[in-house]
Chains A and B, each alone.
Chain A
Amino acid sequence: MDIQLSHVNKRFGDTAVIKDVSFTVAAGEICCLLGPSGSGKTTLIRLMIGALPADSGTIQFGDTEMPNMAILKRLGFMPQNDALYEDLSAQGNLAFFGGLYHLPKRTREARIAEVLDMVELTDHKRKLVKDFSGGMKKRLSLAIAILHEPDILFLDEPTAGIDPVLRRKIWAQFQSLKAQGTTIIVSTHVMDEVVECDKGALLYNGRLIEYDTVDRLLAKTDSGRIEDLFFAASESEARS
Chain B
Amino acid sequence: MIQLAKRVIRQTINDKRSVMLILVAPLLILTLVYFLLGDSDYVATVAIDPDAVPAPVIDALEQQELELVDITGDEADQALDYLQQHEDVDAVLRFPENSGMDITLYEPSTKGATAISEIQEAMADINPTAEAEVSYVYGTQDQTLFDSLGYVFLALFSFFFVFIISAMALVRERSRGTLERLMMTPIRRGEVIAGYTLGYSVFAVIQAIIIVLYAVFVLQLSNEGNIFWILLTMVLLAVTAVSFGATISIFAGSELQVVQLIPFTIIPQVFFSGLIPLDLIPYHLGNLSYIMPIYYGAAAIKGIMVYGDGLSDIWGYLAGLTAYALVLYVINTQALKKFRKL
Contacts and interface: CB of A to CB of B under 8 A. Distances in A.
Interface in B284-342: 339-342
Contact of B181 (A70, A77, A87, A99): A77
Contacts of B7: 85, 88, 92, 96
A137 to B, nearest CB: 11
A79 B341 contact: no
Interface residues of A, number: 31
A84 B186 contact: no
Interface stretch (B35-43, B122-130, B172-180, B268-276): B172-180
Contacts, number: 77
A96 B340 CA distance: 20
B342 A81 contact: no
B14 A88 contact: yes
Contacts of A51: 180, 183-184, 339-340
B80 interface: no
B15 interface: yes
Main secondary structure of the interface of A (DSSP, over half): loop
Interface residues of B, number: 26
A211 interface: no
B340 A50 contact: yes
A85 B6 CA distance: 13
Interface string B154-190: 0000000000000000000000111011111111100
Contacts of B15: 87
A128 B185 contact: no
A53 interface: yes
Contact of B11 (A70, A87, A100, A102): A87
Given A50-B341, A67-B340, A99-B3, A73 B185 contact: yes
A150 to B, nearest CB: 10
A77 B176 contact: no
Given A88-B11, A92-B10, A83 B342 contact: no
Given A50-B341, A69-B342, A85-B11, 16 more contacts: A50-B342, A51-B340, A67-B340, A73-B186, A77-B181, A79-B180, A81-B176, A81-B177, A82-B177, A83-B178, A84-B178, A85-B7, A87-B11, A87-B14, A88-B10, A96-B7
